[in-house]
Every structure is written in structure tokens, then in C-alpha cells.
Structure 1
Amino acid sequence: MIERVNPPELARPSGFAHAVVATGRTVFLAGQTGLAADGTIVPGGLVAQFEQALTNLLVALRAAGGGPEHLAQLTIYIVDIDAYRARAREIGEVWRRLVGSAYPASAGVGVTRLWDAEALVELQGVAVLPDGS
């Protein structure tokens, strides 16, 4: 079970939850970049890479027996925060199309470089599956 907590004393969150209370089986999801199945970074820039990274994360989650609704925490590593903020609306559209309107507890972290030098964004998460799943 996942309960999203957004206290009225904090600013209204946009694209994340302030806290998530979760009970069940924990799945730790490795960082995923915009890496296609052939081992190359997808073309098309930041939004395309975010979509591929999120797709990769969800494929791993489904293989572990979960779905997008089980995401409890997400860390987004971003090479260019200004570019990410400028494309936030498009990134949000990708999120809603692939995951829906429920958001995990999240953090965006600016980094100078990711493992793959061509990667612009990397997503790492934690999901909680219901007991018995």
C-alpha cells in the first residue's frame, strides 16, 4: 500500500509528493538512462532521453512484479538543470502518459556527468509492492 502525504503547511507539490508511506515488498530500481535496447542513447535530446529512461525503469519494475502505481521514491539526476526546467511541461506530459497523475517522493539532483557521457538524465527509484504480490 502506498499513501502520498502532502501536508498543508508545505508548499503545494508539483510533480512530486512531499512524503510517501508504504508497506509491502520493496523493489530497488537501478539508475536508468535513455539507453535503447541496442546499447545506444536515443536521439532527440532531453525529453526523448527522459521518456526512454522512464520506460526502462518501468520495464524493470514490471519484471519485478510491479507497476507505475507502486513507485514510492524517484531520484532524477540531471546534467543541465536549466534545460530540464525549460522542458518541464513536456517532461510532465511524458510522466502522465506513462505513469499517470500519482507522483512519488522525488528529488532532482544536478550532476556534471553521468556514466554514459551522452546521457542527459538518469532515473533511479524505489517501489513498494503489496504483500503477497
Structure 2
Amino acid sequence: MTPEISRINPDQLHETPGYHHVTVVETGRTAYLAGQCPVGPDGSVVGEDSLDLQVDQVVENALAALAAVDAGPQHVVRSVIYVRSDDREDLASVWSRFTASPLAPAFTTASTLLGVAQLGFAGQLVELDLTAALPA
């Protein structure tokens, strides 16, 4: 059984580029994924100079983590994207890449996009934090 998930944009709040201000999960279990990083199966950071390659690896890793709990992008109820940059164009580029990926339904929910000074791995430019409402 799929959990009942409502996504709301209150009239009093600004329009969004696809995400919702509020996400409500009526019942069920929740999975909290560790920050998904652009690290390949061999343990190394991919595409150290490429936001696009790093986003693609993060998408692959996030889909695998969701699948491990029998969930998909449509079950995501919260996302936080971290980009190692203070350039708004970089942040917009990462948002666009994620929302055009197979993980895109995850970003129709409550989402936050942040530019940060540093991430955990040397050469890491992107990290994604997801919370999912699990199907029964």
C-alpha cells in the first residue's frame, strides 16, 4: 500500500519552480537516507570538476538507496541539495539537472537548495539528503 502523501503550496506563499512548500504524510514508516554523494562503487569521487557528472552519480546512488527500502522517487517527502558554490548559476544548473533526471519526482515535494563552502569528500561538489515515506 502506498502511503497517502499530500503536497501543498499555501496561497499566502510565493510560487515555486516545481517543489511544494509543505508535504504531509498521513501514516506509515519513514526512511531517512544518509547524504548521497558523488562516489562511485570503487569509493572514489566521480567528475571532480563536473557538476553534471556528480549530479548523475548522486542520482544513481539515491535511486539505489531508495530501492533498498522498496521505495522510489515518488515516495520522497523532503529533499535537501547541497552545492559547493556561491554562484547562483551553479545552483540553478544542479536543480535543473536533478529535476530532469530519473529522480525528478523527488523534487516536487518539500525541497531546499543550498550553496555551501565545503562538503565531506575532497573534490565533492554536490550532496543530496532525502527522506521518504515508505510503501507498506
Matches of 2:108 and 2:44, distance apart in 1: 28
- Superposed counterparts of 1:23-38, under 5 Å: 23-38=27-42
Alpha-carbon contact 1:15-1:92 (below 8 Å) kept: no
Structure 1: which 5+ runs fail to align?
Answer: none
Q: Which deviates the most, 4-13 or 116-125? A: 4-13
Matches of 1:73 and 1:86, distance apart in 2: 18
Change beyond 3 A, Cα 1:100–1:114: closer
CA offset at residue 95 of structure 1? 2.6
CA offset at residue 7 of structure 1? 1.4
Partner of 1:7: 10
Change beyond 3 A, Cα 1:24–1:96: farther
Matches of 1:128 and 1:86, distance apart in 2: 27
CA offset at residue 117 of structure 1? 1.6
**Identity of aligned pairs, percent?**
36
Change beyond 3 A, Cα 1:100–1:123: closer
SS in structure 2 opposite 1:31? coil
Q: Which has the higher strand share?
A: 1
Partner of 1:122: 127
CA offset at residue 123 of structure 1? 0.3
Q: Which deviates the most, 22-31 or 10-19? A: 10-19
Change beyond 3 A, Cα 1:30–1:80: same
Change beyond 3 A, Cα 1:81–1:54: farther
Alpha-carbon contact 1:34-1:42 (below 8 Å) kept: yes
Partner of 1:18: 21
Structure 2: which 5+ runs fail to align?
Answer: none
Matches of 2:92 and 2:97, distance apart in 1: 13
Residue identity in the other structure for 2:127: E
> What's the TM-score once normalised by structure 2's chain length?
0.84
SS in structure 2 opposite 1:32? coil
